[in-house]
Amino acid sequence: MMNQEQAMKFKKLFEDQKSALLYSYKFMNEDFNLSSDEMSDEIDLSSAELEQNMKMRLRNREALFLKKIDEALEKIQAGTFGVCDCCDQNIEQSRLEVRPTANLCLSCKEEEEMRETRSADGRKSKSIGIRASLRIA
Ligand SMILES: [Zn+2]
């Protein structure tokens, strides 16, 4: 468990990040409405669509980040912030400084990444094979 002072520091950080995100949300939505009004020209449609896609993707990523911030704030509220979801050990302070929304400790995260790498091994070895044969050619 981290002390109250540390928890409050992270709470402030998350609240700042959250309000910055919500502000950019609002800003993007206004911009978004504006461009849909201007979509009368067919030539502009594809670029407008592209822009729309890009914004949607960006918004999805921000929505995910926002969700993580909310989860972290809930944890601070509940007094479980900084505790690994997997092994219930404290997450390294240095890790939280770099990645405040981390929900796994370093060793659990490494284990998770190793599992992901192993499950992607089939695809990976195939692409390495292609690269190797290209190098020979
Ligand atoms: Zn852990």
pLDDT of 112-133, one tens digit each? 999 999 887 755 555 555 455 5
**Average pLDDT value for residue range 16-44:** 68
What is the value of pTM for the model shown?
Answer: 0.66
Which pLDDT value is given to residue 33? 55
How many angstroms does the Cα of residue 98 sit away from the middle of ligand 1?
17
Q: How many CB atoms lie within 10 A of CB 76?
A: 19
The CA distances from residue 23 to 28, 42, 79, in Å, are 9, 31, 28
How many angstroms does the Cα of residue 121 sit away from the middle of ligand 1?
24
How many angstroms does the Cα of residue 10 sit away from the middle of ligand 1?
20
Mean residue pLDDT across the chain:
81
Domain boundaries, the chain: 4-104, 105-137
How many angstroms does the Cα of residue 106 sit away from the middle of ligand 1?
7
How many angstroms does the Cα of residue 29 sit away from the middle of ligand 1?
39
Residue 60, SS3 per DSSP: helix
> CA–CA separation, 61 vs 45, rounded Å?
24
How many angstroms does the Cα of residue 66 sit away from the middle of ligand 1?
23
What share of the chain has pLDDT > 70, as a percent?
73
Both tokens of 130, joined, read 């292609």
- DSSP 8-class letter at 120: T
Rg (CA), the chain: 22
CB-based contacts of 92, cutoff 8 Å, min separation 6 = 105, 106
> CA–CA separation, 34 vs 16, rounded Å?
28
Annotation: CATH topology of 4-104: Four Helix Bundle (Hemerythrin (Met), subunit A) (1.20.120)
Spatial contact of 27 and 92, defined as CB atoms under 8 Å apart: no
